[in-house]
């Protein structure tokens, strides 16, 4: 008979910690609403910390278990994604209390929703079966729709939430349709069995593969499925944007890479996804960067920049699939890790100077920051330069590894386009630095005020940690790369 054993439960403990903590926060808030706010921040951080350490420990110990009758597999790959996502979510949680308190929506539900979403993300990279994949994706998406509309009296926030929900549901439709067709072609929902469908019912298989890919590309915000990104990023409360830009961005890659590598494989017969992804990667990088050039709002600009970064990551995925080497895939994981740090920091600075009645979102709002708050300006400069990809910051090494493996794989034109795009992106990242350092109130005609309203130790800790991480993990990337290699090789062990 089918039964859940203790081994199953201990195997998914990184996800289970989060779900239990989320439920505990809801109960706490219902029974003891007076004290639940600050307590739930601590519970959330503790749960994320537990999951992070468990995942890292199991990753280094080489734990590889198949659970729930093969529906979930907690191997090095799943543990690595779990660690990246838990780190990303911790950074997002640290930036939340200050902003939410200023907006008067510091509610315990925020942390419960966030934890449920993270639980789905952890399972998403671990899913070995299409229904499990779908369930995990919905578990990770639905709380985020709510979080985007968390400042519910704010019309932009509700609009963003509605837009994101409708488009997200639409994307899910594609995904489910793809799953149904693939199941029809392969006669099995397990990823390892999918490839057999290409010979049995090619029409169904390729239609299913296309639809499934469309669903994934929606989630990662690749062109031409990117239109929700800037609106959702701009309208969402800034801590939620932080969460979306790092955790919600990284998580879909976990499931996507697994489906592509383990499910579809690299044979020419079923590897039609590779040329399709080349076109999508070029479009994603170029459109993302070119549209970001004209943005005046930092949150919106970061939305387009996140689209562009999805393009770079796709280049890394393509290189890994061509070389079929764990090293190349490790570069993608390392890039995701670095990307999480850079984004958390950049949004953190916006939160740092957000006031009760007004967000600090426009590039113009940062004018003259360096004169009044030199440290904050220096941190922001580090994040922006790292996003541009300037050595010796971590962003440079992330790009460097991805591009060098892409060259090795023979994707030279793709790399040239990617590097040209990086050069273009320097314009809008440096625009922020120019505003902070080389312009003052005399240029904009209005005095900017940079006082900290609602001091938060959590936020400051997050900012310093991310800046330190960008400086340190760039030069000392070897331990991170070794962990990523461990994770990547466990995925290639199952891939054809």
Partner 1 sequence: MLSPYLPILFQLILAAGFACALLVLTHVFGPRRSTDVKLSPFECGVDLLDCAHHRFSVKFYLVAMLFILFDIEAIFFYPWAVIFREEISQGLLLLSEMGTFVAVLLVGFIFIWRKGVLEWA
DSSP 393-426: SHHHHHHHHHHHHHHHTT-HHHHHHHHHHHHHHH
Distance (Å, whole) CA 40 – CA 25: 6
Site for partner 1 in 222-281 (CB under 8 A): none
Please say which residue, 91 or 136, places its beta carbon nearer to partner 1: 136
Burial class (CB in 10 A: 0-12, 13-18, 19+), 392: exposed
Q: Say whether residue 365 binds partner 1 (CB under 8 A).
A: no
CB-based contacts of 361, cutoff 8 Å, min separation 6: 234, 238, 297, 298, 299, 350
Please say which residue, 26 or 369, places its beta carbon nearer to partner 1: 26
Site for partner 1 in 14-73 (CB under 8 A): 23, 26-27, 29-31, 33
Please, what is the minimum distance in Å from the beta carbon of residue 169 to partner 1?
16
Please, what is the minimum distance in Å from the beta carbon of residue 70 to partner 1?
19
CB-based contacts of 3, cutoff 8 Å, min separation 6: none
DSSP 246-314: HHHHHHHHHHHHHIIIIII-S-TTTTTHHHHHHHHHHHHHHHHHHHHHT--BHHHHHHHHHHHHHHHHH
Other residues' Cβ atoms within 10 Å of the Cβ of residue 346: 27
Size of the site for partner 1 (CB under 8 A): 10
Please, what is the minimum distance in Å from the beta carbon of residue 108 to partner 1?
10
Closest CA to 84 of 210, 217, 247: 247
Please, what is the minimum distance in Å from the beta carbon of residue 133 to partner 1?
21
- Judged by DSSP in three states, 236 sits in coil
| Cα of 425 vs its chain's centroid, Å | 19
Please say which residue, 30 or 457, places its beta carbon nearer to partner 1: 30
Burial class (CB in 10 A: 0-12, 13-18, 19+), 450: middle
Please, what is the minimum distance in Å from the beta carbon of residue 114 to partner 1?
16
Please say which residue, 27 or 412, places its beta carbon nearer to partner 1: 27
Stretch that binds partner 1, among 1-9, 54-62, 350-358, 438-446 (CB under 8 A): 1-9
Q: Say whether residue 393 binds partner 1 (CB under 8 A).
A: no
Residue 393 Cα distances to 181, 390, 417, angstroms: 45, 6, 22
Q: Say whether residue 3 binds partner 1 (CB under 8 A).
A: yes
Q: Say whether residue 4 binds partner 1 (CB under 8 A).
A: yes
Query: What x-and-dash track marks residues 98-137 binding partner 1 by CB under 8 A?
Result: ----------------------------------------
Please say which residue, 28 or 93, places its beta carbon nearer to partner 1: 28
Please say which residue, 26 or 247, places its beta carbon nearer to partner 1: 26
Distance (Å, whole) CA 277 – CA 261: 13
Q: Say whether residue 7 binds partner 1 (CB under 8 A).
A: no
Please say which residue, 28 or 220, places its beta carbon nearer to partner 1: 28
Q: List the structure tokens of 315.
A: 């280049």
Site for partner 1 in 404-463 (CB under 8 A): none
Closest CA to 428 of 278, 305, 329: 305
Q: List the structure tokens of 122.
A: 């952890």
Please, what is the minimum distance in Å from the beta carbon of residue 158 to partner 1?
12
Q: List the structure tokens of 193.
A: 């069995």
Please, what is the minimum distance in Å from the beta carbon of residue 242 to partner 1?
26
Please, what is the minimum distance in Å from the beta carbon of residue 164 to partner 1?
19
Please, what is the minimum distance in Å from the beta carbon of residue 286 to partner 1?
42
Instruction: Kindly list the residues in this chain that would bind partner 1 in the complex (CB under 8 A).
Output: 1, 3-4, 23, 26-27, 29-31, 33
């Amino acid at each position: 008979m089918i039964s859940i054993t203790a081994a199953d439960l201990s195997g998914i403990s990184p996800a289970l910690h989060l779900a239990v903590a989320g439920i505990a926060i809801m109960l706490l808030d219902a029974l003891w609403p007076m004290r639940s706010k600050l307590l739930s921040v601590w519970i959330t951080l503790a749960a994320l910390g537990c999951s992070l350490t468990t995942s890292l420990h199991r990753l280094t110990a080489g734990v590889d278990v198949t659970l729930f009758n093969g529906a979930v597999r907690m191997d090095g790959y799943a543990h690595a994604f779990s660690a990246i996502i838990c780190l990303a979510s911790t950074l997002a949680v640290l930036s939340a209390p200050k902003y939410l308190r200023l907006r008067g929506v510091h509610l315990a539900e925020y942390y419960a929703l966030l934890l449920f979403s993270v639980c789905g993300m952890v399972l998403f990279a671990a899913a070995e079966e299409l229904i499990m994949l779908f369930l995990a994706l919905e578990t990770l998406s639905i709380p985020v729709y709510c979080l985007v509309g968390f400042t519910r009296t704010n019309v932009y926030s509700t609009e963003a939430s509605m837009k994101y929900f409708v488009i997200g549901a639409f994307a899910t439709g594609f995904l489910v349709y793809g799953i149904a067709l693939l199941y029809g072609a392969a006669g099995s929902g397990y990823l390892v069995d999918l490839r057999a469908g290409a010979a049995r019912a090619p029409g169904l298989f390729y239609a299913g593969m296309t639809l499934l890919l469309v669903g994934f590309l929606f989630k990662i915000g690749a062109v031409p499925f990117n239109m929700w990104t800037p609106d959702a990023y701009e309208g969402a409360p800034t801590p939620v944007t932080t969460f979306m830009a790092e955790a919600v961005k990284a998580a879909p890659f976990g499931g996507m890479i697994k489906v592509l590598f383990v499910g579809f494989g690299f044979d020419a017969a079923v590897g039609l996804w590779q040329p399709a992804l080349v076109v999508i990667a070029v479009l994603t990088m170029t459109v993302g960067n070119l549209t970001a050039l004209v943005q005046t709002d930092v949150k919106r600009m970061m939305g387009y920049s996140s689209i562009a970064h999805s393009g770079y990551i796709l280049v890394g995925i393509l290189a890994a699939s061509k070389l079929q080497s764990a090293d190349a895939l490790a570069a993608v994981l390392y890039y995701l890790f670095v990307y999480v740090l850079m984004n958390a920091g950049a949004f953190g600075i916006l939160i740092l100077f957000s006031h009760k009645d007004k967000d600090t979102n426009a590039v113009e709002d940062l004018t003259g920051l360096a004169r009044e708050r030199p440290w904050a300006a220096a941190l922001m400069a580090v994040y922006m330069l790292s996003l541009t990809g300037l050595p010796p910051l971590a962003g440079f090494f992330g790009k460097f590894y991805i591009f060098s493996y892409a060259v090795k794989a023979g994707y030279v034109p793709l790399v040239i386009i990617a590097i040209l795009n990086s050069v273009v992106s320097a314009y809008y990242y440096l625009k922020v630095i120019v505003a902070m350092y080389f312009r003052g109130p005399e240029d904009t005609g209005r005095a900017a005020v940079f006082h900290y309203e609602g001091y938060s130790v959590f936020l400051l800790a997050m900012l310093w940690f991310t800046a330190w991480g960008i400086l340190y993990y760039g030069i000392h990337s070897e331990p991170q790369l070794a962990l990523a290699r461990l994770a990547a090789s466990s995925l290639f062990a199952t891939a054809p």
